[in-house]
Amino acid sequence: MKSSRYNDSKNITGEIIREYRENLSLSREDLVSKLALLGVTLYNNDVYLIENNERIIKDFELIAICKVLNINCENLKEII
């Protein structure tokens, strides 16, 4: 059975990403720019959708976002 939702959300990390981004005083545009430097293309709307759990986040996007926001990916499961 294919599922693209968990508890009616497309991801479970969006709220954490928003919290960390805001704590660093980064706008969505700032995050997008920093991700582009790592070779990951996301748009402001993509970040909005991810943060609101309305878009599935790919593993390489999550790793890059964690790198930009200084989140330890290995400990992400403990944050969730």
Considering only 11-15, 42-46, 74-78, which range has the smallest mean pLDDT?
74-78
Q: What is the DSSP string of 9-78?
A: BS-SSHHHHHHHHHHTT--HHHHHHHHHHTT----HHHHHHHHTT-SPPPHHHHHHHHHHHT--GGGHHH
**Domain locations in the chain?**
14-71+75-79
CATH code 1.10.260 for 14-71+75-79: yes
Comparing C-alpha atoms, which of 59, 66, 11, 79 is closest to residue 34? 66
Whether residue 46 has pLDDT greater than 70: yes
Mean pLDDT of the chain: 89
